[in-house]
Chains A and B, each alone.
Chain A
Amino acid sequence: MAKGESLGEFEHLVLLALLRLGDEAYGLAVRREIAQRAERDVTIGAVYATLERLKDKGLVRSRQTEASEERGGRGRRYFKLTAEGDAALQATHRALQRMAQDLGLGFSR
């Protein structure tokens, strides 16, 4: 994978959160998933900035829902991995596994 096509650490976390959340992946859910599992208190702005960048790269797609009262009259934007996003995630995992192999980290076994 060429430089510029690889995933950054936070992009990696966001894509994994999207996978975990499935059809329920929208900004707030992604933020909370990362906070709970990765123990990183990221801002909603950082999540959206990353999601937009991933969208520009063609790694995720989004759809907007109807507005609701609970959200101040605004809709939700749900995100989903594209086939390219899935491939990028797998490539990143393979690269990490190869790098960790034989280091005794218990990472690749």
Chain B
Amino acid sequence: MRARPSRLGPWLLRPFLEGGEAHPLLGDLEEEFHTVIVPERGVRAARRWHLRQSVASMAPLLGAGIERPTPRQWLLALATLGALVWAPLRCIEALRSFVLGQIPLKDGLLRSPAYLAATLVAAALVFTVASWVLRRDARLAPVPTWCIVVLAWLLLGLVGPHWPLSVWAASLPVLGLGAWVSSRLSGARTDEGFEGEGT
């Protein structure tokens, strides 16, 4: 029976390819799998190669697609990046609420400043990475993003004046560093000529 490559690779790449499953890129991968890699390295190693190629191809294809963004690609990038950070935070929050709900007198306890700080920094990171991935069309995105984050930070301070001063002091360098990284990343996208490269 003829060896087949893993189905996971094409499944991962399909969202980035116009025409989906019928795209010639997937055909090229399969052709190389059958004609070169399987004879040279055997079926198991060839399957690993196929999966590695697929995973490594996602970044340049996403980048190429986002250069000419369609609404679907914007949503895809934002949803992926958002889910990567937001979902774990939501899970931790749900677990925390459940645990505290089981302890008498602890239900409704205020969130610790560290938790709020982590949430805000994570949200800022999501926007920074998203703006970097979305490239040219969102080159200025870090500026309003960080404005929103700082504003949210100040509003939370008004709502929760019990925060110790040290939390505020510690948060400023983090925000500053994030804003600097954000501006560097978005500025780097203005360079032409070396985009789409990757191994």
Binding site for B on A (CB under 8 A): 3-4, 6-11, 26-28, 31-32, 40-46, 48-50, 52-53, 56, 64, 67-68, 70-77
In the docked arrangement, what's the CA distance between A23 and B28, Å? 16
21 contacts between A and B (CB under 8 A): A3-B192, A4-B192, A8-B192, A8-B193, A26-B28, A28-B31, A31-B32, A44-B57, A45-B25, A45-B198, A46-B57, A48-B64, A49-B60, A49-B61, A53-B67, A53-B196, A70-B31, A71-B30, A72-B30, A74-B23, A77-B24
In the complex, besides A3-B192, A49-B196, A64-B24, 18 extra interface pairs with C-beta distance below 8 angstroms are A6-B193, A9-B197, A11-B196, A27-B24, A27-B25, A42-B197, A43-B53, A43-B57, A43-B199, A44-B53, A45-B13, A45-B59, A46-B199, A49-B64, A50-B197, A53-B195, A56-B68, A67-B22
| CB-based contact A52/B64 at 8 Å | yes
Q: Is B150 an interface residue (CB 8 A)?
A: no
B contact residues around A45 at 8 Å (CB)? 13, 16, 25, 53, 56-61, 198
Answer whether A42 and B61 are a contact pair too, CB < 8 Å, given A8-B193, A70-B34, A70-B35: no
| CB-based contact B27/A75 at 8 Å | yes
A8, A41, A43, A68 pick with most chain B CB within 10 angstroms: A43
| Closest chain A residue, CB of each to CB of B4 | A72
Q: Select A28's contact among B13, B32, B199, beta carbons within 8 Å.
A: B32
Binding site for A on B (CB under 8 A): 13, 16, 22-32, 34-35, 53, 56-61, 63-64, 67-68, 192-199
B contact residues around A26 at 8 Å (CB)? 24, 28
| CB-based contact A44/B192 at 8 Å | no
B contact residues around A64 at 8 Å (CB)? 24
Minimum Cβ distance to chain A for residue B67 (Å) = 7
Q: Select B61's contact among A3, A9, A48, A71, beta carbons within 8 Å.
A: A48
| CB-based contact A48/B25 at 8 Å | yes
Answer whether A10 and B67 are a contact pair too, CB < 8 Å, given A48-B25, A70-B34: no
| CB-based contact B25/A7 at 8 Å | no
| Closest chain B residue, CB of each to CB of A7 | B193
| CB-based contact A10/B196 at 8 Å | yes
| CB-based contact B23/A46 at 8 Å | no
List of 8 A-B pairs having minimum Cβ-Cβ separation, nearest first: A45-B57, A74-B27, A8-B193, A49-B64, A71-B27, A28-B28, A77-B24, A49-B60
| Closest chain B residue, CB of each to CB of A9 | B194
B contact residues around A8 at 8 Å (CB)? 192-197
| Closest chain B residue, CB of each to CB of A65 | B24
| CB-based contact A74/B22 at 8 Å | yes
Minimum Cβ distance to chain A for residue B66 (Å) = 10
| CB-based contact B24/A74 at 8 Å | yes
